[in-house]
Chains A and B, each alone.
Chain A
Amino acid sequence: MNPTIAAASVLAAALAVGLGAVGPGIGQGSAAGRAVEGIARQPEAEGKIRGTLLLSLAFMEALTIYGLVVALVLLFANPFV
């Protein structure tokens, strides 16, 4: 195995997950904040808000998971080695 490629792959995997977590983190935070605001304003709608929030959180989480998939491919099924 070429050590340069190995080092680059490990670094790229770390960057893929790390940077991939930033965007969804911000998004999830703002979504959860808005949901709390909504619940505070209208406590009787809590059930509905929670359902929608969980669904949209899962969508945002999927973005990080894409980064994770790329990282896993780089670590365990690297096409360049």
Chain B
Amino acid sequence: MSVMLNGLTSFHFLPLAELEVGKQFYWHIGNFNVHGQVLLTSWIVIGSLVLMSVLATRNLQRVPAGTQNLMEYALEFIRDLAKTQIGEKEYRPWVPFIGTLFLFIFVCNWAGALVPWKLIRLPEGELAAPTGDINTTIALALLTSLAYFYAGFRKKGLGYFGNYVQPVPFMLPFKIIEDFTKPLSLSFRLFGNILADELVVGVLVLLVPLFVPLPVMALGLFTSAIQALIFATLAASYIGEAMEDHGEEHGEH
């Protein structure tokens, strides 16, 4: 397929305008090939999140200001999200997990769009949003799967398998398939959206390098924020679903 790739990449007018898909900066660690650029950017994202949290909590005030105010706003937002999806009684232990997912994905997406990574040259591949790599999103989605299984087993023990035959035993195959499609759709949705944003901006920059891509970039910022919200909401709703009691009413999904 390299012919098609060359056809695309040979179209650059500016040094900033190039399209690269599927080129990775490999690190060889033991027997593994690691995508170095993803690792670098995700550790930068994690570092900046930790730094923000330390800055916000270092000197706590009764009346929040500056960073503390911002982080309290984020925390309240995440708490509300978890509360509406998981329910008043059970949501508290899951706030850290949902919050980590939301903040990590959100900062990854925005870092990929806002930070001028092009200024840093790598031998191969380029620095971009870590969520634009399928491995990152699959890892996040599998963590979500583990989390909701853990939530279900912890709450109900082996009675969790009762979920599979509720409300009618006829649903069993669909519920089993659902366990596989949940992480699949979670990971593909995030990966596809972020990669699509980057590609659309890339193609537009190829065609018209100045000003015209700006509205599309703004739209990309918006969709990537929404995608972070969707991932966190869905993770919370899967966890809530796993812990749901079937005697009570069914909440909306």
Q: Which residues of A line the B interface, CB within 8 A?
A: 1, 6, 9-10, 54-55, 58-59, 61-62, 65-66, 68-69, 72, 75-78, 81
Additional A-B contact list (18), CB under 8 Å, known A58-B223, A65-B193: A6-B1, A6-B4, A55-B226, A55-B229, A55-B230, A58-B230, A61-B223, A65-B188, A65-B189, A65-B192, A66-B188, A66-B189, A68-B192, A68-B196, A72-B195, A76-B1, A76-B4, A81-B1
Give the secondary structure class of A's interface: helix
Centre residue among B21, B185, B196 by max chain A CB count within 10 A: B196
Which residue of the partner chain A has the closest CB to B194?
A65
Which residue of the partner chain A has the closest CB to B199?
A72
In the complex, what residues of A have CB within 8 A of residue B5's CB? 76
In the complex, what residues of B have CB within 8 A of residue A55's CB? 226, 229-230, 233
Query: How far, in whole Å, are A62 and B196 apart by their CA atoms in the complex?
Result: 11
Shortest beta-carbon contacts, A-B, top 6: A65-B192, A62-B189, A69-B192, A76-B21, A76-B22, A58-B226
Which residue of the partner chain A has the closest CB to B193?
A65
Contact of A69 among B3, B191, B229 (CB under 8 A): B191
Contact of A54 among B22, B195, B226 (CB under 8 A): B226
Given contacts A68-B192, A76-B22, whether A62 and B1 have CB atoms under 8 Å apart is no
Q: Which of B211-250 contact A (CB under 8 A)?
A: 223, 226-227, 229-230, 233
Is B229 a contact of A1 with CB atoms below 8 Å? Answer: no
Query: How far, in whole Å, are A81 and B4 apart by their CA atoms in the complex?
Result: 12
Is B226 a contact of A65 with CB atoms below 8 Å? Answer: no
Query: How far, in whole Å, are A58 and B1 apart by their CA atoms in the complex?
Result: 31
In the complex, what residues of A have CB within 8 A of residue B227's CB? 58
In the complex, what residues of B have CB within 8 A of residue A58's CB? 223, 226-227, 230
Query: How far, in whole Å, are A31 and B229 apart by their CA atoms in the complex?
Result: 20
Is B4 a contact of A75 with CB atoms below 8 Å? Answer: yes
